[in-house]
């Protein structure tokens, strides 16, 4: 249960609010404290279970405060505990051999089910802690307008033709659907499945498709893939988004009855589509019985989209004059070509796609406009199959250079995360960095990478200077007022569970008034509906969080 901001502000002990595996490293952080020692007590009896020393105070210029850290990995006894520092006490946390993050993992993925368009959300599959988040079907999208831009740049000139484009996930806290964000998010979720197929083949998410002989993660992904296929034109081009002309009011999906439009083909939308559908072709190939012809259809669509992009290599997207929904502006196309070509190469083994691989590119944190690293990650994960087509030794070298740079940034950060700037979607960057480090551990077994991944994970779950667990519904203090239309319109106190919010952002603080935000970047977060700059949700943030969570579960529970 969330506590009030007043109680939160007096709580100086920061840590992963869910807890830790028995064999995991366990860190806590104290901000502005006056003690040099700490104790850990049984949350029920108050009996001391562990005592230790806090590290030296270090000033973090991004938080404007002095921070001490400590590690208590030697405490391996299962139980529920609290940390005590002086007269301060932490929120309770668990230590367990298995299962500490199982519900988190489930609901970070079920967040995509809750995002589904064109279907009712049923109480049987959407009840969390006794609260039902069931809702009526919104946005059937069986009759949306097909945009033909007018000469003056407006969208007044539409064909009489209406097209059907149902399914898919709402993109963020609004009700529009975007191809670029879909492709990026599907990449992360598909990568998660390919890394740990045994685990995800058996993970039940309790969604309508559970029990159909297909892993639930793939069932959820297919809801988005089915929608993506509707966004492709006959010439292979792919529309950028399906949207209303402006963002809807804060109403439930079934109450948003404004006309919806399929707008704008672009190079980036074609290539994100191609990457996602090329991956889908191999993910669903073993499930031909359940989805006859789907794998072949997905691959054909991916090839057509890539061919269109090759014929139209620099077509940008920009909103028509009378459309004000998300623009996702991106005029750099090389990285999308790399990502799409790599997925096609892995799926088809057609050497023609290998010429788009660029191992001298700039590789950094993968975010929706910067996806070069996605093709590096996939080449590394599929290195055995790819050694005939690319220099795998160089792939590994460049990948480890990236992972090592994250380790350097992590070591230099008083906050123990690789992120050096807090901007829009900083939590996505933390999750993506953690996932990259986790993949490095998965492939090398070098625990320095696992340490970075776990610290990123712990940060997102509460070991940060805001004191929040940034995933709604989890921990003791979590976002209660997400910038999300469903959460604000459903009449239920608090927000829908399982969503990673954007996080601290020092760059865009005008939405709720700059005076309402903390001065220092790492603290510049506001749990308020108005704060779309820090408290919105998005599929491209939940997908990296899902990957990082899956990595932590699968790697730390087997790590000794």
Reported as a single tens digit per residue, the pLDDT across 269-306 is 999 999 999 999 999 999 999 999 999 999 999 999 99
Query: What pLDDT is recorded for position 8?
Result: 40
Give the span between the Cα atoms of 205 and 218, in whole angstroms.
11
Query: What are the structural domains, with CATH classification, of the chain?
Result: 136-390 (1.50.10.10)
Query: Within 10 A of 223 (CB to CB), how many other CB atoms are there?
Result: 22
pTM of the full structure: 0.96
Chain position carrying tokens 């009526």: 136
Distance of alpha carbon 97 from the chain centroid:
26
Reported as a single tens digit per residue, the pLDDT across 165-213 is 999 999 999 999 999 999 999 999 999 999 999 999 999 999 999 999 9
Give the span between the Cα atoms of 218 and 225, in whole angstroms.
10
DSSP string, 246-302: SPPPS--GGG-----EEEEE-HHHHHHHHHHHHHHHHHSGGGTTTSTTHHHHHHHHH
Of 364, 373, 313, 288, nearest in space to 338 by CA: 373
Q: How confident is the model at residue 161 (pLDDT cuts 50, 70, 90)?
A: low
Show which residues are catalytic. Answer: 174, 483, 527, 536
Query: What pLDDT is recorded for position 9?
Result: 37
Chain position carrying tokens 């995800």: 200
Chain position carrying tokens 């589509």: 273
Query: What pLDDT is recorded for position 33?
Result: 81
Query: Within 10 A of 383 (CB to CB), how many other CB atoms are there?
Result: 16
Reported as a single tens digit per residue, the pLDDT across 20-44 is 999 999 999 999 888 999 999 999 9
Q: How confident is the model at residue 149 (pLDDT cuts 50, 70, 90)?
A: low
Q: What percent of the chain has pLDDT over 70?
A: 95
Contact 460, 430 (CB under 8 A): yes
Contact 373, 363 (CB under 8 A): yes
Contact 48, 123 (CB under 8 A): no
**What residues are paired with 239 via a beta bridge?**
265
Q: Which residues contact 307 (CB under 8 A, 6 or more apart)?
A: 236
**Is the pLDDT higher at 560 or at 264?**
264
**Between helices 216-230 and 294-311, what is the axis angle to 10°?**
50
Reported as a single tens digit per residue, the pLDDT across 343-384 is 999 999 999 999 999 999 999 999 999 999 999 999 999 999
Mean of all residue pLDDT scores within the chain: 93
Q: What is the mean pLDDT of residues 127-136?
A: 98
Q: Which residues contact 171 (CB under 8 A, 6 or more apart)?
A: 177, 178, 181, 182, 326, 538, 539
Reported as a single tens digit per residue, the pLDDT across 335-344 is 999 999 999 9
């Amino acid at each position: 249960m969330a506590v009030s901001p007043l109680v939160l502000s007096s709580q100086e002990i920061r840590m992963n609010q869910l807890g830790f595996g028995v064999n995991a490293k366990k860190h806590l952080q104290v901000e502005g404290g006056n003690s040099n020692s700490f104790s850990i007590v049984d949350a029920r009896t108050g009996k001391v279970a562990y005592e230790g020393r806090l590290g030296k105070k270090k000033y973090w210029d991004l938080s404007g405060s002095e921070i001490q850290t400590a590690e208590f990995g030697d405490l391996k006894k299962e139980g529920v505990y609290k940390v005590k520092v002086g007269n301060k006490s932490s929120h309770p946390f668990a230590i367990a051999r298995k299962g500490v993050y199982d519900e988190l993992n489930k609901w970070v993925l079920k967040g995509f089910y809750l995002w589904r368009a064109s279907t009712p959300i049923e109480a049987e599959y959407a009840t969390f802690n006794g609260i039902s988040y069931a809702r009526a079907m919104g946005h059937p999208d069986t009759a949306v307008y097909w945009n033909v831009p007018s000469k003056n740049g407006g969208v007044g000139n539409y064909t009489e033709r209406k097209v059907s484009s149902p399914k898919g996930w709402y993109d963020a806290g609004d009700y529009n659907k975007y191809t670029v964000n879909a492709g990026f998010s599907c990449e992360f979720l598909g990568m998660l499945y390919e890394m740990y197929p045994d685990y995800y083949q058996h993970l039940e998410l309790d969604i309508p498709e559970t029990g159909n002989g297909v892993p639930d993660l793939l069932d959820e992904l297919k809801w988005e893939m089915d929608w993506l296929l509707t966004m492709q034109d006959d010439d292979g081009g792919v529309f950028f988004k399906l949207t209303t002309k402006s963002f809807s009011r804060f109403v439930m999906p079934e109450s948003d009855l404004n006309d919806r439009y399929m707008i704008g083909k672009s190079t980036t939308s074609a290539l994100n589509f191609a990457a996602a559908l090329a991956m889908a072709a191999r993910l669903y190939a073993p499930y031909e019985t359940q989805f006859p012809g789907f794998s072949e259809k997905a691959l054909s669509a991916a090839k057509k989209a890539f061919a269109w992009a090759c014929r139209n290599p620099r077509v940008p997207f920009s909103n028509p004059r009378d459309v004000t929904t998300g623009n996702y502006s991106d005029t750099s196309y090389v990285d999308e070509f790399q990502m799409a070509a790599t997925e096609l190469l892995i799926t088809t083994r057609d050497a023609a796609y290998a010429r788009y691989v660029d191992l001298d590119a700039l590789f950094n944190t993968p975010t929706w406009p910067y996806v070069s690293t996605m093709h590096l990650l996939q080449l590394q994960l599929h290195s055995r199959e790819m050694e005939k087509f690319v220099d795998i030794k160089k792939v590994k070298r460049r990948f480890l250079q990236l992972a090592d740079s994250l380790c350097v940034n992590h070591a230099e950060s008083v906050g123990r995360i690789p992120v050096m700037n807090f901007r829009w979607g900083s939590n996505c960057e933390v999750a993506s960095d953690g996932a990259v480090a986790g993949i490095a551990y998965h492939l090398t077994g070098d625990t320095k990478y696992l340490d970075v991944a776990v610290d990123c994970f712990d940060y997102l779950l509460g070991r940060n200077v805001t004191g929040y667990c940034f995933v709604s519904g989890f921990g003791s203090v979590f976002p209660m007022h997400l910038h999300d239309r469903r959460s604000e319109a459903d009449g239920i106190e608090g927000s829908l569970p399982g969503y990673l919010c954007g996080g601290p952002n020092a760059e865009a603080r005008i939405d709720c008034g700059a005076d309402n935000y903390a001065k220092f970047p790492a603290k510049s977060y506001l749990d308020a509906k108005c704060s779309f700059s820090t408290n919105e949700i998005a599929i491209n943030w939940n997908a990296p969080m899902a990957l990082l969570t899956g990595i932590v579960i699968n790697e730390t529970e087997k790590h000794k």
